[in-house]
Each structure stands twice: as C-alpha cells, then as structure tokens.
Amino acid sequence: MSYVPIPLPDRLRMSEEQTEIVSLNYLNYMKRRHSVRDFSQELISDTVLSNAVAVAASAPSGANQQPWHFVVIKDPDMKAKIRKEAEHEEQKFYSGGGGDEWISALEPIGTGAKKKHLTDAPALIVVFAQRYGLAENGSRYKHYYVNESVGIAVGFLISALHHSGLVCLTHTPNPMKFLNLLCKRPNNEKPVMILPVGYPNEIAEVPQAAKVKKPTSEVLSIY
C-alpha cells in the first residue's frame, strides 16, 4: 500500500480555558477508576462490550498494523476453565515460585491464589497480541512495536469501560497458552491479559494501598 494523504477528517479546537476545564474534568473522572475484584453478576449488553473493544481497536499502533485481537467470554463453562487453569498457576506462584520479594510487594494489594473474580464477573475480555502477521497465502510478515501497541490499546479499553460505568481488573496469569486453544486463536497470537468486566457488587472493596499514587511532580518533567 502506498502513501495517500487525505485532509485531516476531524478537528477539535477549544479555547485554552475550555481545554483546561475539560482536562481537569477528565482527570477527576479517571481518579474514580478502581481495579475491582468483587463483581456483581448483573449482565452487560454485547453492544456496550463491543463499543469498548472498538475504542481499543482505534488505538495507534506500529505501522498501523493493529496487532491485537479481543475475545469476549460470557460462557460460564469457559470462565470456569480459565479460572481453574489460572488458579493452578497462581498456586505455584504463591507457594514460592514468585519469589519472596515479588510476593512481599503484593501483600498490600491483598491478592492470593484464589481468583473468584474470573467466574463472578459477567464477562471476561481476553487480549491477544499478534506476534507477526499472516498473509492470505499463509506467509508471515513482521509486526512492529507489538507490546507497545497492545499496551496502548488496553489503556484505551480500560478507559472506555470506565466511561461506560463498568469496572475491570487487569489479570495476567502465566503461562496462558491454553487460552489459544480455548478461544480458537491461531499460533501467531499470544494471550497477554484477561480483563474481568462488570459492575461492582454491594460489598466491593479495594486495597487502601492501591489509592496511593505518586504525585504529578514525581512523574512529570517539563522543559
């Protein structure tokens, strides 16, 4: 495909005052985002989930190759299989496989080997990264900046879910190769994350430590 420029299709220009107001409103709204493990079993429409994934798929990517695929799982049996496999690996991790330093770092978050959220949440979104592309004739072609591209897309996805009034959790069991077979995804894709998605239940809690964020002055430099 050759380069064909087109006029910028969308422009959004606000006054400096409006920009500051909008940016502050968005900041305050995103401060209300929480990683949640206590889910209500209230169902979510496919339209809401599809829209959130569409937002994720609109993210920028290396050479615009869009090296991702998202699988939404609502089926209880599939969720149960994922939980069983995840807990098997997590048990090895928390039994010493993760190392004392890593396990100690997780103590304030309150995580453990049991992953009830994987079956409680009404939907799971499994994120696959395409390590390389496949042409129609089956030949491979290189994808660029796959990890960075997929990471940006997941950020878009989390923001879209929050904007829709939903909560989620970033869950990364390792290894996750079983997800390719379960989700019928090809070998050029690697599962990188599971996001349980739903509404928080009535007794939902979050760890106090998770709300301690570095001040902007510590994470920002302006020259």
* pLDDT tens-digit map of 48-99: 999 999 999 999 999 999 999 999 999 999 999 999 999 999 999 999 888 9
* Half-sphere exposure (Cβ direction) of 10: Cα atoms closer than 13 Å: 1
Residue 173 forms part of a structural domain? yes
Nearest Cα neighbor of 39 from 159, 206, 204, 173 is 204
Q: Look at residue 207 in the predicted model and tell me its pLDDT.
A: 95
**Distance from C-alpha of 165 to C-alpha of 180, rounded to nearest angstrom:** 30
Q: Residue 88 is part of a domain; what is its CATH number?
A: 3.40.109.10
Residue 121 forms part of a structural domain? yes
Q: Look at residue 1 in the predicted model and tell me its pLDDT.
A: 76
pLDDT band at 176 (very low <50, low <70, confident <90, very high): confident
The whole domain housing 90 covers 36-201
Residue 12 forms part of a structural domain? no
Residue 122 forms part of a structural domain? yes
Q: Look at residue 177 in the predicted model and tell me its pLDDT.
A: 87
Residue 40 identity: S
Distances in Å between the Cα of 38 and the Cα atoms of 68, 205, 210 are: 28, 7, 15
Mean pLDDT of 92-113: 91
**Distance from C-alpha of 117 to C-alpha of 192, rounded to nearest angstrom:** 18
**Distance from C-alpha of 195 to C-alpha of 121, rounded to nearest angstrom:** 9
Nearest Cα neighbor of 156 from 62, 57, 87 is 57
53: exposed, middle or buried (C-beta count within 10 Å: 0-12, 13-18, 19+)?
buried
Residue 211 forms part of a structural domain? no
Contacting residues for 103 by C-beta, under 8 A, at least 6 apart: 93, 94
Of the candidate ranges 15-19, 113-117, 135-139, the one whose mean pLDDT is the lowest: 135-139
Contact assessment for residue 50 and residue 154, using Cβ atoms and an 8 Å cutoff? no
Nearest Cα neighbor of 197 from 35, 32, 31 is 35
Q: pLDDT (tens digit, 9 = 90+) per residue, 207-220?
A: 999 999 999 999 99
Residue 215 forms part of a structural domain? no
Q: What is the mean pLDDT of the chain?
A: 95
Asked if the model's pLDDT at residue 175 lies above 90, the reply is no
Residue carrying the six token digits 């993210």:
59
Residue 169 forms part of a structural domain? yes
Q: pLDDT (tens digit, 9 = 90+) per residue, 5-25?
A: 999 999 999 999 999 999 999
**Distance from C-alpha of 107 to C-alpha of 109, rounded to nearest angstrom:** 5
Asked if the model's pLDDT at residue 102 lies above 80, the reply is yes
Count of the separate structural domains present in the chain: 1
